[in-house]
């Protein structure tokens, strides 16, 4: 996507293309799209111009998303019983009325589950649950979730509460988002745009935090390490600031651990556990144990969706609807 389209809303519909629905190849299915969950990582991918950047992609490139829809056709070698079923899947080329997907990581969508909730399953829900597992959050422990009003963060707040966290501390960058997080069950909400945010967290948990889930990186990550107690754990799953700062070794001498979580590597390394996580998430959403907080726009308004992502104005997750 071209950045200049963001500056000219009138151009966004000119970027649309009409094409025939593709035919599924070996091991693929054709999905008629109901909803597409938009990922903030695509803002980072679109912005990256340095070939050395983690987010750099050779152009032309496509945009990722979590597609929810119905399997319209099944290709050779794919399970014929998939036809007609509702599924959700993370795709690298997601912004279309009809998309092709491999079958390895299709998530069955329970009947009656809204497309908005189903869009949470493949990525943001899996990352929220995976980071908490990596942090080994135990009953009664304290947890800090940075950038908690986003797609992953707002689910992590709810999951941490369900897993018995003693205190959930959540950060965000506006009064509206802080109110949103308090409504989701966060015990302490802090504006991380304030220079004393770490002091506020320390005052709320003077004995130190047990677990931090960080999506910001840079200075916020280093400050978060300073907030955890001995044997505390920090799990990094993104660097929305764009700053992959080095971590001074001396900051870990207090028996502190910093680890990272990557969804694709998690799937490759522990596929059975990853699939079980997806099934657990689907059951939670179906039973009403998790709230999917979303805002919807027409698929044709994808440029506006990216503008809203860049401005970080909305809590929860953006959904595109064909």
Give residue-wise pLDDT tens across range 224-277: 999 999 999 999 998 776 666 677 777 788 889 999 999 999 999 999 999 999
* Mean pLDDT along residues 63-81: 97
Clarify whether residues 129 and 196 are in a common domain: yes
Structural domain range at position 242? 124-265
Rounded Cα gap, residues 40 and 43, in angstroms: 5
Tell whether the model's pLDDT for residue 73 goes beyond 50.
yes
Residue 2's pLDDT is 39
181 domain-assigned: yes
In a domain, 279, yes or no: no
Shared-domain flag, residues 26 and 136? no
Q: Are residue 144 and residue 108 in the same domain, yes or no?
A: no
Considering all CA atoms of the chain, what is the largest pairwise distance in Å, rounded to the nearest integer?
60
pLDDT (tens digit, 9 = 90+) per residue, 296-316? Answer: 999 999 999 999 988 888 999
CATH number, domain of 157, equals 3.40.50.720
Is residue 158 very low, low, confident or very high in pLDDT (cuts 50, 70, 90)? very high
Instruction: Please check whether residues 217 and 246 belong to one and the same domain.
Output: yes
Q: What is the pLDDT of residue 1?
A: 38
- Give the mean pLDDT of the chain: 91
Neighbours of 185 (CB within 10 A): 15
Please report whether residue 277 resides in a domain: no
CATH number for 297 = 3.90.180.10
Domain match, 115 and 129 both: no
What's the pLDDT tens digit per position in 280-293?
A: 999 999 999 999 99
Q: What is the pLDDT, as a whole number, of residue 133?
A: 95
**Global pTM exceeds 0.85:** yes
Answer yes or no: do 143 and 16 share one domain. Answer: no
Per cent of the chain over pLDDT 70 is: 93
What is the tally of structural domains in the chain?
2
89 and 150 share a domain?
A: no
Least confident of 10-19, 135-144, 200-209, 237-246: 10-19
- Assign 57 a pLDDT band (cuts: 50, 70, 90): confident
Helices (H), the chain: 41-47, 115-118, 126-135, 151-162, 175-184, 197-204, 218-227, 263-269, 271-287, 302-311
Residue 7 has pLDDT above 50, yes or no: no
Query: 297-303 long-range contacts, Cβ below 8 Å, gap at least 24?
Result: 297/321, 298/322, 299/33, 299/36, 299/95, 299/97, 300/12, 300/13, 300/16, 301/12, 302/1, 302/12, 302/38, 302/63, 302/95, 303/1, 303/5, 303/6, 303/9, 303/11, 303/12, 303/15
280 is a domain residue: no
**What pLDDT does residue 3 have?**
43
What is the per-residue pLDDT for 232?
96
On whether both 42 and 164 belong to a single domain, the answer is: no
The answer as to whether 283 is a domain residue is no
Residue % of the chain over a pLDDT of 90? 77
């Amino acid at each position: 996507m071209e950045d200049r389209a963001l500056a000219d809303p009138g151009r966004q519909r000119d970027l649309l293309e009409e094409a025939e629905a593709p035919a599924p190849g070996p091991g693929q299915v054709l999905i008629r799209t109901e909803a597409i969950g938009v990922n903030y990582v695509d803002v980072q991918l679109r912005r990256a111009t340095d070939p050395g950047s983690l987010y750099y992609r050779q152009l032309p490139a496509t945009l990722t998303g979590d597609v929810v829809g119905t399997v319209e056709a099944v290709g050779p070698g794919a399970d014929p019983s998939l036809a007609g079923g509702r599924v959700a899947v993370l795709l690298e080329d997601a912004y279309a009325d009809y998309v092709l997907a491999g079958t390895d990581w299709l998530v069955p969508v329970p009947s009656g589950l809204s497309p908005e909730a189903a869009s949470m399953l493949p990525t943001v829900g899996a990352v929220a649950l995976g980071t908490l597992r990596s942090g080994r959050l135990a009953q009664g422990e304290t947890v800090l979730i940075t950038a908690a009003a986003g797609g992953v963060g707002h689910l992590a707040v709810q999951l941490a509460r369900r897993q018995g966290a003693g205190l959930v501390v959540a950060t965000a960058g506006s009064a509206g988002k802080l109110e949103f997080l308090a409504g989701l069950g966060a015990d302490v909400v802090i504006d991380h745009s304030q220079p004393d945010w770490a002091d506020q967290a320390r005052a709320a948990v003077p004995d130190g935090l047990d677990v931090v889930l960080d999506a910001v990186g840079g200075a916020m990550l280093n400050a978060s390490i300073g907030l955890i107690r001995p044997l505390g754990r920090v799990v990094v799953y993104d660097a929305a600031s764009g700053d992959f700062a080095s971590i001074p070794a001396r900051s870990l001498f207090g028996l502190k651990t910093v680890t990272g979580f990557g969804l694709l590597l998690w799937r490759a390394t522990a596929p059975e556990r990853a699939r079980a996580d997806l099934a657990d998430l689907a059951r939670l959403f179906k039973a009403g144990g998790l709230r999917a907080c979303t805002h919807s726009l027409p698929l044709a308004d994808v440029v506006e969706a990216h503008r809203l992502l860049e401005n970080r104005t909305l809590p929860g997750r953006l959904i595109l609807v064909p």
